Amino acid sequence: MIVVRRSADRWWRFDVTVRDAPLALVLLLPSLIPALQNNGTRLGDVPDRPMDALGLAVVAVECLPLIVRRRLPAACLALVSTGFALDQLHGYHTVAGTALPIALISAGAHLDRWRWTTAIVASAAYVPLAIALSGPEPAEGVAGFVSFYLALVLLWGIGSRLRQSRAAEAERRLHAAETARIAERTRIARELHDVVTHHVTAMVVQTEAARYLTGDRLDQALSTVTDSGRRAITDLRQLLDVLDPQQDTGQRSDVRALVEQARQAGQPVEYTEEGRPPTGTAGATAYRVVQEALTNALKYAHGSRTSVLVRHGNREITVEVATDSAGSPTAPVGGSGRGLAGLRERVGGLGGEFRTARQEDGGFVVHARIPAGSAS
C-alpha cells in the first residue's frame, strides 16, 4: 500500500503534459488496428476509405494534441477539430474521432481567455463542415447534424461546469486558509496579551512598592522586578518558538511559578492543586486562566487575599480564582478588556465553561471548567 501511494505521489508530481500523454496513446494505437478501422464516429454519408499515409497523418493530428489539452486547450481543440474534419471528409471514420469530445471538455474546463470567441469560431467552422458532409442528398438530414452539434455544445458545457467547480473549490480553500490565518493571528495576539499583561503588571506593582522601600527590602524588590522581566522574556521566547516548526511547541503549565510571582509582587495567594497536571492545550489553557485572574488581582485588588484552586480530573480541569474585596488598585497600567473575553472564547472553543462573578463582599471570582485531553 505504501509503495502504491508513493508511486501515485510521484506520478502527480509530473508535468500535466506527461500525465496526459497516455490518453493520447490510448486513442492513437487502437486507431491503427485494422479490425477497428472505419468503426469510429460517422458524420454524413461519405463512403469508407481504407487507411493510408494520409489517414495516419489524420489520426496523429486528432490524437497527439491531447498531450497539451490542459496546457494549451485552444490549440489542442483547433488541431483535433481539424483532424476530425479531415477524418470525416475522407471517410476514414477512425476511433481517433473520440478525441474531439475530450478536446471540447478540456477546452471548456481549462480555457481562461477568449472563451466566447473560441465557441463562436468553432460553431462557425461546423457549418461548412456539415454542408460538405451532407452531399446533394444527405442521408442524415438536418436533424442529424443539429443533434451532433447539440452534443458538442453539451460537452463544452460539461467542461465549463468542471471549470466552475474547480474555481469554487479553489475559492473555498482560499477562504479556509484565510480563516485559519486570522485564527492563528488571533491566538498569537491572545498569547502575547496574556504574557505581556501579566508580567508587566507585576513589574509595575513591584516598582510602585519599591518607592517606599530602602536597604535590603529595596534590593529584594528590584530583584523581583528583574525576575519578572526574565520570566516575560522566557515566555515570549516560548511563544515565538511556536511559530518555528523546528522548535518544540509544548505549552508550559507551571501554575506554581505564577503564584510565586504574584506573592513576590505583594499579593497574598493561597494555592491548592489536586491531581496530576496534564499536558497539551487543556493544561496550557488552565495556566492562562490563572495568569489572567492573578493579573487582574494585582491590577485592581493589590494586597487582597487571593485563593487559587486547580483540580485536575480524569475528564476535566477545574480552575477557580477568588479575590477578596479588600485592597487597593495599583497605578493604572492600561487594559484592553481582551483578557477575560479571550479566555471565555478559548475555553468555549475546547467545549468548556468560563464565567466570572462578583461576590457579596465585593470580591471577584473566576471559574473555568476545561475538558481534559483537548487536542491543540
Locate 203 and state its grid cell. Answer: 513589574
Q: What's the confidence (pLDDT) of residue 375? A: 41
- Residue 305: burial class (beta carbons within 10 Å; 0-12, 13-18, 19+): middle
Q: How far, in Å, CA of 176 to CA of 354, rounded?
A: 28
Phi and psi at residue 367, to the nearest 5°:
-130, 135
Confidence (pLDDT) at 331: 45
Residue 107 has a pLDDT of 93
Predicted confidence at residue 350, as pLDDT, reads 82
Q: What is the pLDDT of residue 369?
A: 92
Q: Which amino acid is at 219?
A: D
Residue 214: predicted pLDDT: 61
Helix (H) or strand (E) holding 42, with range, is none
pLDDT number for residue 248: 42
pLDDT for residue 62: 93
Question: What confidence score (pLDDT) does residue 176 get?
Answer: 83
What is the per-residue pLDDT for 241?
Answer: 55
Give the per-residue pLDDT at 106: 93
- pTM of whole model > 0.85? no
CA atoms within 13 A on the CB side of 372: 15
Give the separation between CA 262 and CA 256, rounded to whole angstroms.
10
Q: Which residues of the chain have pLDDT under 50?
A: 245-251, 330-334, 374-376
Burial class (CB in 10 A: 0-12, 13-18, 19+), 45: middle
Query: What gap in Å lies between CA 355 and CA 357, rounded to an integer?
Result: 7
Q: Please write the tens of the pLDDT for every residue from 52-64.
A: 999 999 999 999 9
Q: What is the dihedral of CA 185, 189, 192, 194, to 10 degrees?
A: -130
What does the pLDDT look like over 135-172, one tens digit per residue? 666 555 788 888 999 999 999 999 999 999 988 998 88
Cα angle 251-255-257, degrees, rounded to a multiple of 5: 105
Three-state DSSP at 357 gives strand
Q: Count CB neighbours of 138 within 10 A.
A: 15
Furthest CA-CA distance within the chain: 118
What's the rounded Cα separation, in Å, for the pair 97 and 92?
Answer: 10
Backbone φ and ψ for 311, nearest 5 degrees, come out as -115, 115
CA distance 348 to 70: 47
Q: Strand, helix or coil at 269?
A: strand
pLDDT score of 246: 44
Separation of alpha carbons 170 and 162, rounded Å: 12
